[in-house]
Amino acid sequence: MGGWLAGAHLGLNVQLNQFWVLGGEFSLSGTNIDGSKQDCFGAGSGVTCTNANDWLLLAMGRLGFVGTPLGTNFMVYGTAGWAVGGVTTNLNIDPAFNPNFFRASAVHNGFAYGAGIE
């Protein structure tokens, strides 16, 4: 798998007091992330499996802790929310056969989470 991801990101952080920050963010990205594997049904099967991630939508909440060591500001945070993405898969069985016969596009969704330092 390899490719790129580019899109728009909108977010807001609000510092509640000296130590805590609440925030939220929303992003929508188009992607060109794809890959393939030959003989994906076993050695010599002749079947090539392909996968492409077409787009990604994220809606995340954030909770951060602010600290000021050595006079510099930083925030340690955790984030969690929902991710939705468009995925296209395909099986190429034989070059003479219709290469898009087993092509399928679907929308997948699930929980997303992360952590970081700013």
Convert the pLDDT of each residue in 11-21 to its tens digit: 999 999 888 99
What does the angle CA 66 – CA 72 – CA 75 come to, to the nearest 5 degrees?
25
Q: Band of the pLDDT at 52, cuts 50, 70, 90? A: very high
Average pLDDT over residues 35-62: 91
Residue 57 has pLDDT above 80, yes or no: yes
pTM of this prediction exceeds 0.85: no
pLDDT for the residue 48: 87
Residue 74 has pLDDT above 90, yes or no: no
pLDDT for the residue 115: 97
